[in-house]
Amino acid sequence: MGSESRCENCIIRQFNSLRAMTKEELKQVSDSKTSKIIKKGEAIFEEGEKLNGVFCVREGVSKLSKLSSNGKDQIVKLATKGEVMGQRSVIAEETSNLSAVAVNDMKLCFIPKEAIVNTLHKNPDFTFEVLRLMAHDLREADDVIVNISQKTVKQRIAEAFLYLKSNYGEDEEGYLVLTLSREDIANVVGTATESCIRIISEFKKKGLLKSSGKKLGILDEKKLKDLAEGF
Amino acid sequence: MGSESRCENCIIRQFNSLRAMTKEELKQVSDSKTSKIIKKGEAIFEEGEKLNGVFCVREGVSKLSKLSSNGKDQIVKLATKGEVMGQRSVIAEETSNLSAVAVNDMKLCFIPKEAIVNTLHKNPDFTFEVLRLMAHDLREADDVIVNISQKTVKQRIAEAFLYLKSNYGEDEEGYLVLTLSREDIANVVGTATESCIRIISEFKKKGLLKSSGKKLGILDEKKLKDLAEGF
DNA sequence: TTGAAAAGGTGACAAATATCATATATATTT
DNA sequence: AAATATATATGATATTTGTCACCTTTTCAA
């Protein structure tokens, strides 16, 4: 087994709470973890499922969503390289309130909850680090609430593209690296797929976005920003 | 100073993370805390403000809200007896993302952040307890996101009344203990005040709610539940 | 106690958004 | 390569919700 398969040597760790673990703790995590490969579209866990551990994202992106009674999926968060999924449920000892599905091909590490919970009770630095990141997630959730309830669909879609650019970047030709389907974008902003498609078409006509195959790119960031702010 | 003014003897503590503090730590908190009386409508802290500590609610209810660019206030959470406000900002070392305003007359304790942060780095039980409660808040925030984006205003208002009943109870005559203005209810569910008033009137006409002065009461819980679920 | 301010209420209308139907393009499977 | 499924697109229409105007009732302070 190559040394990069050990948590101690994993660079991803630097982006999440595991960086606050001691060498000993990391060794324990590394010994108990398993790696998983998940293909685009496959589920990692389902809403209501009891999680026996957390998932550390090494490659790819996962959408964390919740099904509402009317059958629509609301995407609450996108989890990327370095992020840990399922922490909330493990900590609160509740079943998962969200489903996780791979947006593209992914590599994950599954860490059994014992290794995590143990450290949570012993290493305050680690616990604090998890807390700090969760505080950040909570702020983001608050922002989403305000955005959804106060901004128009058009504003939220504009914002979504700005978010995709700033979080996942664009390729050499100026197309967004993370390609989401119109349906996924609709589920992020909380609207009907048709409304989303219509507004994206409008943005393309107005020269704010460009497209090539499945890829979408931002042409006029300034105008998108103005739009998102309500001008 | 009466003994009930000491955190060690405060019953409220049992409802929040402070119950995981040691006697020594509580003494330190108690020595540094100050009590505050806040009248209905007064602000406790504002969005963007740097918080030098947290507020423990001893009596009354506070609304935590965020102003959006169009001038409307979105209430993200109601904080009651036992809850601690401002933790998120202190932990993340960020300015507050929310404003806190008293919904009715309140008694608060202000605990300077040093006493909290110190303990966070030393007592894993306390840190874990804070984490556990924040995990719970995060789940609630996720639920709010899904509700706002997937349910109609009518459903959300029905839900708000069920929430008020189950969280704050009703008096002998069946009126809700916590009386919110129509505007506040509108800001909780994320709608226009007029729309909220209209729907409450409709609920009264249909015999789902009753009113007496400012007070509102639930007459038909079953139907309200059905409505909230979309029937 | 009375007059101003705030909260509650309602109608008319406009705007935003969802829904349904249907068409076309693109991807996937056989 | 044809057949099938899935994603994107767009028009027509219905529904929901917001906005503005105005009125009444309640609250509160001078």
Where are the extended beta strands (E) located within chain B? Answer: 34-38, 43-45, 53-59, 62-67, 73-79, 84-85, 99-102, 106-112, 209-212, 215-218
Residue B51 has pLDDT above 80, yes or no: yes
Q: Contact, A123 vs B124, CB < 8 A? A: yes
Distance B192 CA to D19 C1' (A): 9
A190-219 mean pLDDT: 96
pLDDT digits (tens, 9 = 90+) for A147-157: 999 999 999 99
Instruction: Report the C-alpha gap between A67 and B146 in whole angstroms.
Output: 8
What's the mean per-residue pLDDT of chain B? 94
Q: Minimal CA–CA distance to A86: which of A58, A64, A67, A119?
A: A64
What is the DSSP pairing of strand B62-67 with strand B73-79? Answer: antiparallel
Q: Minimal CA–CA distance to B180: which of B83, B102, B68?
A: B102
What's the mean per-residue pLDDT of chain A? 94
Kindly report the pTM of this predicted structure. 0.93
Q: A83 — phi, psi (to 5°)?
A: -80, 150
3-class SS at A12? helix
A33-59 mean pLDDT: 96
pLDDT higher for B213 or A61? A61
Residue B1 has pLDDT above 60, yes or no: no
pLDDT digits (tens, 9 = 90+) for B154-200: 999 999 999 999 999 999 999 999 999 999 999 999 999 999 999 99
pLDDT digits (tens, 9 = 90+) for B106-149: 999 999 999 999 999 999 999 999 999 999 999 999 999 999 99
Best of B90, B93, B99, B146 to disrupt the A interface by mutation (most A CBs within 10 Å)? B146
Residue A192 has pLDDT above 90, yes or no: yes
Residue B54 has pLDDT above 90, yes or no: yes
Instruction: Report the C-alpha gap between B158 and B230 in whole angstroms.
Output: 10
> What pLDDT score was predicted for residue A101?
96
Q: Contact, B179 vs A132, CB < 8 A? A: no
Residue B90 has pLDDT above 80, yes or no: yes
> What pLDDT score was predicted for residue A210?
96
Task: Report which residue is nearest nucleotide D20 when distances run from CA to C1'.
Answer: B194
Q: A172 — phi, psi (to 5°)?
A: -60, -35
Contacts of residue B32, defined as CB under 8 A and 6 or more positions apart, other chains included, come to B111, B112, B114, B115
Best of A149, A151, A188 to disrupt the B interface by mutation (most B CBs within 10 Å)? A149
Instruction: Report the C-alpha gap between A28 and A45 in whole angstroms.
Output: 24
Contact A69 B229 (CB under 8 A): yes
Band (pLDDT 50/70/90 cuts) for residue B46 is very high
Which of B74, B125, B151 is nearest residue A145 as measured by Cβ atoms?
A: B74
**Residue B179 CB neighbours (<10 A):** 15
Residue keyed to tokens 């249909």: B206
> What pLDDT score was predicted for residue B4?
60
**Residue A230 CB neighbours (<10 A):** 14
A10-36 mean pLDDT: 91
pLDDT digits (tens, 9 = 90+) for A174-188: 999 999 999 999 999
> What pLDDT score was predicted for residue A95?
96
Band (pLDDT 50/70/90 cuts) for residue A3 is low
A165-177 mean pLDDT: 96
Q: Which residues pair with A78 in a beta bridge?
A: A63
Q: Contact, B187 vs B74, CB < 8 A? A: yes
A65-71 mean pLDDT: 85
Kindly state the percentage of chain A with pLDDT values over 70.
Answer: 98
B13-21 mean pLDDT: 87
> What pLDDT score was predicted for residue A96?
97
- What is the helix (H) or strand (E) element at residue A79, kind and residue range? strand A73-79
> What pLDDT score was predicted for residue B3?
56
> What pLDDT score was predicted for residue B40?
94
Residue B2 has pLDDT above 60, yes or no: no
Nucleotides on chain D within 7 angstroms of protein Cβ: 7-12, 16-21, 26-27
